[in-house]
Structure 1
């Protein structure tokens, strides 16, 4: 039996595309890519015996749920109606809030339970219990046990409101009602596949704390400048020159783009917090310290990516006032750029109380996470909201001096204090348990010793054995119990700016930009999040959170949190629109000091520019205009670099064939563009030629917005030391030589990767999205199973720091899509039924379901689907109706 014989709709309509063959297989994978694939690759190796599975139509269809008729759901107090549209999106109607969330839990378990089970094993540090003796799974468990995500979630259970607890309990009740009396192979195909190598027991009942722990994964992947902070320390170890390190990390202001808000937009003036101090003395650095920092980075790389990370993990959102729209009401757009997996991160849903009241206040639709009740992004009858990652600096690494199980809290006072030490037992399916000793200081868990990296950390420091060894601990706001769960339910019932501000005060982690609009005509912005306050310090390293901090100097301790009242917010700004796409929130020196490491704003500037152009032309905005803007594929990289590249003289006509494509190019990056393919190869090679000889392997340029600013500024300095190739002895290269080499080698690369004829090059042939299941992917899985579960690659336009942000990682040598718009939505506040939405795959997690990837083809080409909200529109769109009864 072949995969083509199986009853599935998991493949897009397009012809299969050619996968990129240009990856440099000799180069180590970058940090972001390791996090993305480590567990999945290891797990599929463990599944090599899966060929013994009887992979029949019966096997793959057994887990499919019923979507119509009457179904008994124990625990309900009344009848619940579920309408599903052509894409299988459920719209749920119930008389009580508890029945509403019980039904959502039941539906999530129907369609997505393995995804939920996988996530809860990851977030509890119990992945090896699920997948067996897989080294990367055990490593992930070690790191997450060190963090103590599950323990923090358990503390949050007693912190959140009684209402939130009742909603989470109802959700868990619905999940468990579906699991009851079903064997693993009746729940999900993945359990059958795993059963080839490990004993698969019936899944444990869902616990409400499982949902809270999932929020920790969301917070981890969207935590802010964590990578930049480590990379600065690693870069200094290689360059030993602060000015050169600073050149690689330019500030947002140096990018020249516009913050989200101007000072005049603020509802109330906020106080200024913190100050950057220049590094004056890095004598605390050493080879042993570099080893400790590298060990911390290696350990944390073991955490699987569940939401998204890296340069591409950002998002676009904007809102325009009714003064600028055809309908006279605001329009809001949002497309979060996150990890792209199958099944997709988001689960579309509508949750409607039959009679909206204080006891049952929900009438909301949007995008949910399987595993958590409610709606994360969407709209209710009065307000729509979108989220983008704010990038606030909520983590700090503390370099600790440790001696046995003590750490130096105050060097001046020579105060050594005991660490908190506990032992964790990691159970491994089919193998002996693993014991893990976890150590913590007052700053947080020691992460540099999570894995077996003792040889890397090094011997006692150069100051003598009395000061022990270096270690690295992590301070992170999400390791403090918070009330983000309360915030999610509060946003679903928000009606105005005051409600949004109140919800934001509860939204501890991750810190997100909130843009919103109301049906009565207002637009606004609100910054939430628990943000550390840092003291101004004139010391060996900056005290602004950009560098690891000396743990033995009390001046570097966090001083508390920025008050929620001081967080930036705006309502109805004068220019009539707000764009939040991961750029700086405020101009430097205005308001609280939220971060120094922002996205450099090329996406936000492009969006602002296109909105401003249409306003100047006097053409009102429509939902279709917003959909088109979300798919804009104009490249700011090309606009900055192509004029310089065209000035480079290439004598050989063969070598110059690629350069000729750039003349007259409009800088758009459609799948058929030969110029986009060539330019991307030039950019990849320029970064390699310029920086690989200077920086550690783990921080090779990914090619995102920061690197565009670095290279753009270097073009004005032809003799900048980074242009020189250190590997060429007695030769000092300059800018023009580096540019020439990048152009010529790109021509040769694409001759091999695509065609000798430059006119036949196509960006889409290189820039493909290959969705991969977290445990059923990679070459070690038999092709029958792998090809059935994982959709065929699709060609994609766009690229990094483009509005249609289908990012790729230049450090890998590959152009494959790594992150992108995980969904797209446009909400018309004048006619909610005229809104549109799409997600990257589909509503179902079952490969045999017609809704497994039925949205993929539309998503890939920028199309969206109608989003009915009112009950008449929902009922008109319904293809299936189910009735859930007690």
Structure 2
């Protein structure tokens, strides 16, 4: 995995806001507070059929009540524009490859636009709009109308302080009206962020190129086995070749393709730690006697956060206005993505389905063709123009094969990736991804919002094309279930080809046998209802066991989080302790690391002669493995892990493949601990010396002791994991750190120590390849749904409801999120009324 950037869009723009700072300083709080919306009183909303009420609680969460569905979503668009319009605008610019139009002549922005134009996500969204049903189009149009009605009431400086800042650098003009396709493009961008194993495909090529050994390469990609799969299935053929024969230039093309992927800013997050926890229990194991559901998606953390909280209620609920739902939404898209209605609660976790493949293409640059089954086929091409605010437009030629856009060389002029004479020749890489096909995911969102039972969930899942997400659900009549959705490609089993045909390696584009053979039928996707053990855990582990069901993926999360959740739930059930909302919240904050099971015993078995190092090693004796912020042992183990990975693998692997320390590396090192003389332990930089496992472990203990002595002090008992492991939320445009400190302080919350780490239930992941222990991703929200009493359910956002840095709701949930507290989640009419602190009445024009 490449070294990850912080989850922000641009670092360069923030360094160019000195003039803006001076302007803000001169205008004082007026400029900063001008965009704050009115949450009380009355307002006119053009297009409404009748009056709509927007009630907000103490945390600013809106509960919208309307008489028609179009009024409901028109009001949601208005409210989202009030609270988060700059975030919405930024999202649509990134998704459409138009970021430089918004932020100006910045190399990072142009690099992002280059990739997004090559992928053509907005082009797919336009095609998607045409195939949606009329009802869904009506909802999206109503939402857009509500956004635009709010835009009509304010100029840029009244919408967001970010426009004031950016306006000092370039003329960004008035924001364009919101288009329904903008919502679809954002949904497509989310799917892009949450796609599957493409980086593992590229990683295998680069690792193999470095060590030229298939068996050793596969040692770094062991099968996932820490947890049982989510469901069982029927047997399928599983024969795959292990032979690998790659064309010259394949590794260079893979490096360039990876650079292309890395150029796109984090929208919801990629890399180590990106996943989610979810589990659902039947009433047989709960204190209330009704099902209980918990969910916390692990995504990139930024300010403002990924999610918006909202309640949407038709009054009354009818066939024409069927919505009564509350939960977490995306600003920029109507409806609720995760939450509950009166009948059903649901959670989502990344499924890990292999929905993308890279195809190595043999190009003939002179003729503009590529090879396919012995024939030369003309490349498809189009020219895109990237507009740049305050700069000259950039022309981009996009080429494609039958497998999709060629992504391996889109960044050569910007990144300096090596280009062989005459182009990539035999090493161009095209991307096939299910999300590049128009789909109906937008319809699936509204179908889930109104689902009442397992059959409804299955129907919604059949529409859920991309991204493929595990759905866990529970119903008020006592059922619990799991459903796999998604458009999953069918791959032909090939045993005599140059690479395995299971999607784990880039595929030979010149051999049509490797082409996808259609899609897995929705009715064949795994599902489960009311399993005998009375609970379901879906935490990104394998959905089915190898050789069962339709082929979904080989590269899964390794299941350490899922195993720990199962362990805790099983122990509570065996002890006869009914599980309630409070115990579910406690489990969401469980910080035990699986490294304590295999690595720590191996470390304690090593002979350490140095008394100075032994003083630190003693911290690990009897330690419970909880990576809490106040733990000295947690700090030491993290430092040992960091050093161990570097000493073991940096000498063998290219820097782009240095370990990030996540779940795959847990499994790799766990396997190597039983091989004391594995060549991986040997440091190739030490001439005429062959290191063994114990030597490397002893060196990691010693070097980590020295490192923490410098960072945290000489006395190990005074070390604290939280002094190293902090969550630092950055504003995506203004929070890069180079801005004057008052601006940075305004948009970036102060860093906060947190518990947890990678592959832990409290998944505040850090990147071992980055020389930093700071959090790169984590639970973007947490929720626990009690189906006995919706008002007993709880939730918390990682930041707050507002995208305005001057608002008290910008980060007013952060302290609760850090501490593991959740707030009441009012749903019934009485509870919403009691929680109301502000009411805005939206009225149609007189």
- Equivalent residues in 2 for 1:717-756 (5 A)? 717-756=675-714
CA distance in 2, matches of 1:779, 1:455: 26
Q: Say if 2:156 is the partner of 1:206.
A: no
| Residue of structure 2 aligned with 1:261, choices 187, 207, 231 | 231
2:411 to 446, 451, 454: 451
Q: Counterpart of 1:698 in 2: which secondary structure?
A: helix
Unaligned runs of 5+ in 1: 1-29, 264-269
Structure 2 distance, partners of 1:543, 1:105, is 45
RMSD: 1.4
1:271, 1:376 → 2: CA distance? 33
Q: Pick closer, same or farther for the CA change 1:409–1:784 going to 2, 3 Å.
A: same
| Pair 32,307 (structure 1): closer, same or farther in 2 beyond 3 Å | farther
The 3 A distance-change label for structure 1 pair 805 and 81 is: same
Task: Find the counterpart in structure 1 of residue 751 from structure 2.
Answer: 793
Give distance in 1, aligned partners of 2:649 and 2:658: 7
Match of 1:133 among 101, 105, 112: 105
> In the alignment, what sits opposite 1:216?
188
Query: Partners in 2 of 1:398 and 1:730 — Cα distance?
Result: 41
Deviation at 1:640, TM superposition (A): 1.9
Residue 844 (str. 1) matches residue 802 (str. 2) = yes
Secondary structure, counterpart of 1:342 in structure 2: coil
1:57-102 Cα distance to aligned partner (Å, 9 max, x none): 1011100001011111111111001111111101010000000000
1:303-361, Cα deviation, whole Å (9 max, x unpaired): 11101111201000000001111111000000000011100100000000001111000
Match in the other structure for 1:89:
61
8 Å CA contact retained: 1:42, 1:137:
no
Once residues 369 and 773 of structure 2 are traced to their aligned partners in structure 1, the CA distance between those partners, rounded to angstroms, is 45
Secondary structure of 1:74's partner? coil
SS of residue in 1 equivalent to 2:810: coil
The CA deviation at 1:271 is 6.5
What is the TM-score when the length of structure 1 is the normalising length?
Answer: 0.93
Residue of 543, 568, 574 corresponding to 2:526: 568
Q: Relative to structure 1, is the Cα distance of residues 483 and 640 closer, same or farther in structure 2, using a 3 angstrom cutoff?
A: same
Tell me whether 1:53 sits opposite 2:23 in the alignment.
Answer: yes
2 CA distance for matches of 1:178 and 1:32? 40
Q: Distance in 2 between matches of 1:35 and 1:399?
A: 31
Distance 1:220 1:806 in 2: 22
Which residue of structure 2 aligns with residue 33 of structure 1?
4
Task: Quote the offset at 1:552 in angstroms.
Answer: 0.5
- Kept in 2: contact 1:313–1:819 (CA 8 A): yes
Tell me if structure 2 keeps the 8 A contact 1:835–1:867: yes
Q: CA offset at residue 52 of structure 1?
A: 3.0
Task: Tell me the CA shift for residue 406 of structure 1.
Answer: 3.3
The correspondence for 1:530, drawn from 476, 481, 487, is 487
Query: Which position in structure 1 is the counterpart of 2:457?
Result: 500
Could you tell me how far apart the structure 1 residues matched to 2:444 and 2:244 are? Answer: 43
1:455 CA displacement: 6.8
Q: Report how many residues are paired.
A: 839
Pairing partner for 1:759 from 692, 713, 717: 717
- Deviation string 1:371-423 (CA, Å, 9 cap, x unpaired) is 00000000000000000000100110000011125343424xx2001111111
Q: In the alignment, what sits opposite 1:328?
A: 289
Which of 97, 121, 124 is equivalent to 1:149?
A: 121
Structure-2 residue corresponding to 1:777: 735
* Aligned with residue 819 of structure 1, among 777, 791, 799: 777
Pairing 1:99–2:71 present:
yes
Contact 1:276–1:542 under 8 Å retained in 2 = no
For residue 150 of structure 1, report the CA deviation from its aligned partner: 0.5
Alignment of 1:341-420 (within 5 A): 341-404=302-365, 406-411=368-373, 414-420=374-380
Q: Does 1:245 align with 2:206?
A: no
Unaligned runs of 5+ in 2: none
Give the aligned partner of residue 250 of structure 2: 289
Distance 2:800 2:434 in 1: 33
Is the 8 Å Cα contact of residues 281 and 480 (structure 2) preserved in structure 1?
Answer: yes
Pair 827,455 (structure 1): closer, same or farther in 2 beyond 3 Å: closer
User: 1:25 is matched with which residue?
Assistant: none
Q: Is the 8 A contact 1:365 1:869 kept in 2?
A: yes
Deviates more, 1:534-543 or 1:449-458: 449-458
> Secondary structure, in 3 states, of the residue corresponding to 1:140?
helix
Post-superposition CA distance 1:443-463 (Å, at most 9, x none): 0000011112597454369xx
Secondary structure of 2:383's partner?
Answer: strand
TM-score (norm 2): 0.98
Deviation at 1:652, TM superposition (A): 1.4
Partner of 2:667, secondary structure, is helix
Find 2:621's aligned residue among 660, 663, 668.
663
Which residue of 2 is the match for residue 479 of structure 1? 436
* C-alpha separation in 2, matches of 1:448 and 1:256: 34
For 2:653 and 2:187, the matched residues in 1 are separated by 34
Aligned to 1:8: none
Could you tell me which residue of structure 1 aligns to residue 389 of structure 2?
Answer: 429
Determine helix, strand or coil for the equivalent of 2:536.
strand
Question: Residue 75 of structure 2 aligns to a residue in which SS?
Answer: helix
Shift of 1:650: 1.1
Contact 2:629 2:753 survives alignment (8 Å): yes
Mapped to 1, the partners of 2:370 and 2:392 lie a distance apart of 36
Whole-Å separation in 2 of the counterparts to 1:322 and 1:469? 59
